[in-house]
Amino acid sequence: MARIALPIATFLAAISTLGVAMAQPDPVSTRKEGLRRMQTNLEAIGAVANAGGDTRDTVPRAEEMVAFFRDLPAFFPPGSNGNGSRALPAVWSERAGFERAAANATTAAEALRAAAASGDAAATTAAVRAMGASCGACHRNHRSR
């Protein structure tokens, strides 16, 4: 019985591992789609603020940005610089700088969320600009053109 049980257990373990490996999303596709969504969110928040609209309606978009940028480094695991990625090697070779840029983006997104929640269109417009500057600062050092 033990001679049969061990191969069956090994086979089942291999299949479950394969299933987990197959279920893992491609980090490049995940981050590219996420970053496009963040750009869409930022543009939408900016449009409402520039039109003098009720920026409180954009808080869910800003909250999504906070959560995304807080997790940003996890979307850049080692070895995920292929498959159409424009990430520069500095993302991995100078990881502390990249993580600092992600933290700055998180801080900017939190300020954007607070401005949007206040309903102050002018403050939200300023926070949109600051968020854009944070994105640009990261791109200058960590993304190829």
Q: Which amino acid is at 8?
A: I
The three-class DSSP label of residue 122 is: helix
Is 139 marked within a binding site?
A: yes
Angle between helices 59-71 and 95-118 (to 10 degrees): 170
Is 47 marked within a binding site?
A: no
Is 142 marked within a binding site?
A: no
In order of 55, 71, 120, the CA distances from 52 in angstroms are: 8, 31, 9
Residue pair 125/49 in contact by the 8 Å Cβ criterion: yes
Annotated binding site for heme c: 135, 138-139
Binding residues: 135, 138-139
